[in-house]
Amino acid sequence: MSLALSLLAIVAGLALLVWGADRFVLGAASLARTLGVSPLVIGITVVGFGTSAPELLISTIAALEGTPQLAVGNAIGSNIANIALILGVTALITPLAVHSKTLRHEFPLLLGVSLLTWWLLADGTLGRIDGLLLLVLLLLVMIWLVWDALRARPDDPLSQELVAELEQDLPPTMSTGRALMWFLIGLVVLVASSRMLVWGAVNIAHALGVSDLVIGLTIVALGTSLPELAASIVSARRGEADLALGNVLGSNLFNTLGVLGLPGLIHPAVLEAGVLDRDLPVMLALTVLLFAMAYGFRGPGRINRWEGGFLLACFAGYQWYIYQSIQTTAT
């Protein structure tokens, strides 16, 4: 009964998490519009934050409740799922071409952030200094992205394309009272559903005899990546490849800097050996692979169906590797 209840908590928690994040972004974006914030800034900050709000809340709750390994697994596992699963499936449906100059900036930025994170965690610990550095860097990255977008020439076709895509992604305008209501409801549901999901995930980990890290890397990471999967598929089918890639790049930046940074600040922890030997190397290798596929050294980059299939195979292989690791540990 306890295991069934835990599974129900995870499923219900994920569903409420997705709904709560949507309501939170709806209210926050509408409030920002009321205050006169430009659609470009709202798209980069509020909507960008909203896509990673589930991972951020789960990691915060997990750290507050003394399970930081779940938070670490959630951050790294979500990044792996975003690249290998989400972009793999999306490219299988519609090959992705990369044109936007902004994304060409974000690719090397994500690669640099991933390398820095690996260097910070190389001592086997996620400490308060590590967490503080990651969060400060997140703030600086957000300031740079907004500044870079605002200084672009209005007549630049790539800038116009980016603004049009971001405006299309924004929710409709509404009254201040209604926006505030959805903002508060979304925030409350996000916190409550995060606690529900963390409770269920920890119980399942104990019942199955696996670590919190593994549950974070698999069940939790996959569940929180499903909204990005749906958004990327819809964007790709509309022919908005930059938006599909932008969802993944922005989410991975938030995950690496914010979702890893907060638990380090709240509950410093010694990392399990698998993080350095298996998970971080896989995350970094996939980031480099994505950079090579999409950057386009001799013209516009492109992720075709063959490359999408390869990314998907990498995800399946990684899940199998984790399963084998569990089996080895159990014996």
Residue 299 CB neighbours (<10 A): 6
Task: Establish if 61 belongs to a structural domain.
Answer: yes
Decide which of 177 and 243 is more confident: 177
- Supply the pLDDT for residue 120: 93
Residue 313 CB neighbours (<10 A): 12
Beta carbons within 8 Å of 107's beta carbon, 6+ residues apart: 249, 290, 291, 294, 295
Task: Establish if 64 belongs to a structural domain.
Answer: yes
For β-strands 96-98 and 301-303, DSSP reports them as: antiparallel
Considering only CA atoms, which of 190, 186, 185 is closest in space to residue 61?
190
Helix H or strand E segment including 256: none
Give per-residue burial for 21-39: e unless 16+ CB within 10 Å, then b: bbbbbbbbbbbbbeeeebb
Residue reference for tokens 């409420």: 16
How much is the average pLDDT of 112-129? Answer: 92
325, two tokens: 């690791």
Task: Establish if 7 belongs to a structural domain.
Answer: no
Residue 154 burial class via C-beta count within 10 angstroms: exposed 0-12, middle 13-18, buried 19 and up? exposed
Task: Establish if 84 belongs to a structural domain.
Answer: yes
- Supply the pLDDT for residue 170: 56
User: In this predicted model, what pLDDT tens digit does every residue of 192-201 receive, in sequence order?
Assistant: 887 888 888 8
How much is the average pLDDT of 19-42? Answer: 70
Helix H or strand E segment including 272: none
Between CA 145 and CA 60 the distance in angstroms is 25
User: In this predicted model, what pLDDT tens digit does every residue of 140-171 receive, in sequence order?
Assistant: 988 887 776 666 555 555 555 555 555 555 55
CATH number for the domain harbouring residue 131: 1.20.1420.30
pTM of the predicted protein model:
0.84
Torsion of CA 73, 103, 51, 92, to 10 degrees: -80
Residue reference for tokens 């076709």: 157
- Supply the pLDDT for residue 35: 66
Percent of the chain past pLDDT 90, that is, above it, reads 23
Q: Is the pLDDT of residue 273 over 80?
A: yes
Decide which of 108 and 297 is more confident: 108
Q: Of the ranges 60-64, 115-119, 159-163, which one carries the lowest mean pLDDT score?
A: 159-163
State the average pLDDT for the chain.
80
If one counts the domains in the chain, the total is 1
Structural domain including 283 reads 41-153+209-326
83, two tokens: 């690249």
Q: Is the pLDDT of residue 97 over 80?
A: no
- Supply the pLDDT for residue 1: 47
Decide which of 176 and 69 is more confident: 69
Q: Is the pLDDT of residue 315 over 90?
A: yes
Helix (H, G, I), strand (E, B) or coil at 211: coil
Between CA 129 and CA 265 the distance in angstroms is 7
Task: Establish if 318 belongs to a structural domain.
Answer: yes
How much is the average pLDDT of 290-316? Answer: 81
Task: Establish if 179 belongs to a structural domain.
Answer: no
How much is the average pLDDT of 197-216? Answer: 83
Task: Establish if 19 belongs to a structural domain.
Answer: no
Q: Is the pLDDT of residue 30 over 60?
A: yes
For residues 241 and 100, is the Cβ–Cβ distance under 8 A? no
Task: Establish if 36 belongs to a structural domain.
Answer: no
- Supply the pLDDT for residue 284: 94
Q: What angle separates helix 221-237 from helix 68-80, to the nearest 10 degrees?
A: 30
Q: Is the pLDDT of residue 18 over 60?
A: yes
| Structure confidence at residue 329 as a pLDDT band (50, 70, 90) | low
